[in-house]
Amino acid sequence: MKTNSSVIIIPLLLVVLAAVFGCTSLSNEPQIENNKELQRAEVLELPNPGELTVDEMQTGVWIQTEPSEAPADSQRSAEPESGPYRLGVGDVLEITLYGEGDAELPRVLPIDPSGNITYILLGTLPAAGRTIDELTADMRARLKNKLNFSILSVVPVSFGSQTFTVLGQMNKPQVYPLQGRTHLLDAIAFAGGTKIGSIRDVSADIHDYAHATVIRRGEVLPVDFESLIYKADASQNIEIQPGDVITIPSALERKIYALGSFNSPQGIQFASSQTSLMNVVVQAGGINTDMSDGHVLIIRGNTANPKVMLMDLSQFDTKKARVFKIVNGRALDMTLQPGDIVYAVPKKFRFFRDVIKDAVTTFGTTLASDAATDIWQRKIDPFNYGPNRPSY
């Protein structure tokens, strides 16, 4: 019986075509091996990119932010608070009662931790949170029933409640009292200036002004330390307010900060020039899919006006180390630099400006916390015993 050859050839041809042009599978997606396919990332100039939503932003391109794009509430935070001074815990008052013989002797009274003062003729009365005029009026009203012809004087002696903190690569990092009008350069001078290191018997700066921060009321102010120090830009020499935290990090700590909605947010030591975004995502435990919308923001350069790049990692699988959509859908990975901030964007944010603001603030608070821990460890636990520190 003779077999028709075309009956056999056509099915074989279909099998070959299916093997060559078959449906895309996981094995056909790009794997994390190198950066050869990474497209060159140009800096994109967009009009007011902060006004766009996260979904409207173009991914995979650098966007240069400008100081003028800082949120209005951040700029308001940089302005000194107006209004009369209100007393606080640690302030010291001098109280004098004229026209009452021995009572004329001035009494120096500190405001105790509960916010009160204790005066011999009146007992305990609240002082913290009040202005000098409010406290004086209250005391005069209480004294009126006891002394008819007295003149009361309440004068502040010192303001112990008004402090600011300087941390990081300073010669004297600590808490300082705020006495009179103090500006940022004054604060740096009070702390003894920045540390100077030595490399091969040559003096060298070991501080990183590009990532230095000022935290005020829980927000990082848009202060450009580099312009202030290297260009003498007086507009960056802001007035210090009570509670400000100034942190100047070390340039020797070559870290990349993985923050935000990662499963294990942390500072990751920059190991080599091949440290990539995918390496950092994996080391940070991957993105928490319950908290993040799948986007990652990379912040590079001066925190006052950095370059930022938004990446879509919604289809990244940390277990398989594959990425399906990152730069225009096909690029494999991107190499990071020391000091980069990699921020997994939480779902709660809609506008791009809010994402940048929260990322920089999170970085600033992390930086300050690390610097404070470093001071504690050097002074209290220099040998890094931790909870196992021996008692003598």
Point out the domain boundary residue: 248, 278, 309. 248
CATH number of domain containing 122: 3.30.1950.10
Instruction: Tell me the per-residue pLDDT of 354-381, one tens digit each, with 9 for 90 and over.
Output: 888 888 888 888 888 888 887 776 666 5
Are 266 and 374 members of one domain?
A: yes
Q: Which helix (H) or strand (E) holds 317?
A: none
Are 269 and 328 members of one domain?
A: yes
Please state the domain count of the chain.
3
Query: Mean pLDDT of successive 10-residue segments in the chain (392 residues)?
Result: 54 48 39 41 51 73 66 50 80 84 75 90 89 91 78 86 90 87 93 79 77 91 92 93 91 86 88 77 87 87 85 63 43 76 87 85 87 73 56 53
- Which residues lie below 8 Å from residue 240, measured CB to CB, with a gap of 6+? 164, 178, 182, 183, 184, 186, 187, 246
Domain boundaries, position 117? 91-159
Are 302 and 200 members of one domain?
A: no
Instruction: Tell me the per-residue pLDDT of 312-363, one tens digit each, with 9 for 90 and over.
Output: 877 655 454 444 444 344 444 678 888 899 999 998 877 888 888 888 888 8
Name the 3-class secondary structure at 322. Answer: strand
CATH number of domain containing 238: 3.10.560.10
The residues facing 92 across adjacent strands are: 110, 158
Would you state the pLDDT for residue 276? 82
Cβ(77)–Cβ(213) below 8 Å: no
Are 259 and 369 members of one domain?
A: yes
Point out the domain boundary residue: 159, 194, 217. 159
Burial zone of 19 (CB within 10 Å; 0-12 exposed, 13-18 middle, 19+ buried): exposed
Are 313 and 369 members of one domain?
A: yes
